[in-house]
Structure 1
């Protein structure tokens, strides 16, 4: 009993501090959103700010756009991430691939990734300049406008570059713990690699796939909003 409780007791001080910081931030943000800011002399609680935002047409359009981009990006990230995870599972050199996938997205913060994509994909960016220098484009303005476009293609590409490796790592960790005896039985019964993936690996990996999708969709939606 003491062994089971001891880890939680040791973690309790840090957990209390972290929870206190998180809770205080949420409470302060909620109070300020209701108009309670004593530091500038506003103490009246009201919902008029919420009503003003919800009735703002431009805000609603922006919200719908953000949720749509988040949904599309999350679906693509999960699909490609699952494929990458399975390829690492069957690849003999998966250790080096794992290290590369871990390092690339982690060392680049989201804001830096956005700045890099802006400088690469904008019509005056690096990629149009290279294509223009190679003679593929007659003018840099012929490069498709991937930044500030109405479909959010540049945003989607940035998000995918950042999040696909993370999805792959989460799903790979789950796939690597699946009992290999199940695959051996399927092989003995004549199942192909694709059949083993669709009928064994994928169904057993659904918990990690769904949790990854929910987490990244919610986090990206909040980030966009």
Structure 2
């Protein structure tokens, strides 16, 4: 299981939101590139980037910072937020991003997502953000009636690289990862699942490790790393133990 540090970008800064609320923002760094290099130096094997401004605007807003991070860290990077057309997908992949995360579009523009999967096989990640199991879109500002499992299953045959499942109610709260919800999703689809939202301590990671066989391939960690509640080195070491 891979530990994936999160870098959320808002107005050029590295921030964290509480429960996806843009009014509850904590700024952790004015230099996201330096933060990315810090996680790399601490042993990160992969980074999770989100263009928060882009997710609301429906178009990328922090492209140059993302380009800088990709160029400097030399790690596989996944990026989400405001990606609504093939030209944007190609732009990110051409700059060296390994995976592009499609969230809102997966619900609202299926033909675009199908085309992206066909054009860039193995490079598209489905981002499913949910509240009480229901999918939320447009930067978490709009909730739908569709369940996370139903959305994931509808893309099961499309060559999706992975599903990132975020429990918005827990995101940034450090209240513990939604183990059962993530397990249910992983067991319900034949796609690797990456857990996200609420990771508070090493105990949360320990709870996820036995679920690798169920299809949980990684976990995204945000606020717990920035607050010091979790040491990245210790978390990575935990996953390497046999």
Task: Give the TM interval when normalised to the shorter protein.
Answer: under 0.3
**Normalising by the residue count of structure 1, what TM-score does the alignment of the two structures yield?**
0.23
User: Which fold has the larger relative contact order, with Cα–Cα distance below 8 Å and residues 6 or more apart in sequence?
Assistant: 1
TM-score between both structures, scaled by the size of structure 2: 0.21
Name the structure with the higher helix share: 1
Q: Which has the higher strand share?
A: 2
